[in-house]
Chains A and B, each alone.
Chain A
């Protein structure tokens, strides 16, 4: 069965710090990969996605993620975080052609002003 692991459950950073959130998945075939963000009290919104092509994917709000197939990883990065990035971040994986998308348990990010 597919699984998604997010290594950090809770991350606290100061504004302007660099961010990297880890995500690993277990499925070895062709996958589609997603990062979603959930701001306090809101629903999930797509940050970025990878389906094929350039493994470095750029998303909204200055976020990017790199797909490293050999490591089964899809880590999320941002060079300089802002207080408004305080949110919960979810990595998700979909096996190509499968109906289901499997989510990680989330990483709660808290940015100190």
Chain B
């Protein structure tokens, strides 16, 4: 959907380096999410945000941190990238909890060598 973008779309980095992925939305949605997608595992939630400066952990949060200083931006940081973090990362947004849908960004393919 045009209302949510991710940058970069592709990144190759080396083990031990910090990496930050950006998710940007123009819909003023309250909730934002970071998932990783891996073959055989589907989508797994890393972290999510329920408002500016309000974040919480998902099921696979180890090695990742997030920040949300503005409604429109949700950053995912790998403090020290490892090869196990090679994945496709999707950001999603959701306006409200009740009767609402998640809309996904185009994804970021990250390779850690």
What residues of chain A have their CB less than 8 Å away from a CB belonging to chain B? Answer: 6, 9, 32, 34, 36, 42-46, 49, 51-52, 90, 92, 96-106
- Identify the closest chain A residue to B102 (Cβ): A101
Task: Indicate if the CB atoms of A105 and B106 lie closer than 8 Å.
Answer: no
Task: Indicate if the CB atoms of B58 and A100 lie closer than 8 Å.
Answer: yes
Knowing that A105-B41, A106-B42 touch, tell me 17 more A-B residue pairs with CB under 8 angstroms: A9-B40, A34-B102, A42-B106, A44-B90, A46-B102, A51-B98, A90-B42, A90-B43, A97-B97, A97-B98, A99-B56, A100-B48, A101-B33, A103-B43, A104-B42, A105-B42, A106-B43
Residues of A contacting B106 with CB < 8 Å? 42-43
Residues of A contacting B35 with CB < 8 Å? 103
User: 23 A-B pairs, CB-CB below 8 angstroms?
Assistant: A6-B42, A32-B99, A34-B102, A36-B104, A43-B90, A44-B92, A46-B102, A49-B101, A51-B98, A51-B99, A52-B99, A90-B43, A97-B97, A99-B31, A99-B50, A101-B33, A101-B45, A101-B94, A101-B102, A103-B42, A103-B43, A103-B44, A104-B42
CB distance from A82 to the nearest CB of B (A): 23
Interface of B (DSSP majority class): strand
- Identify the closest chain A residue to B49 (Cβ): A99
- Identify the closest chain A residue to B97 (Cβ): A97
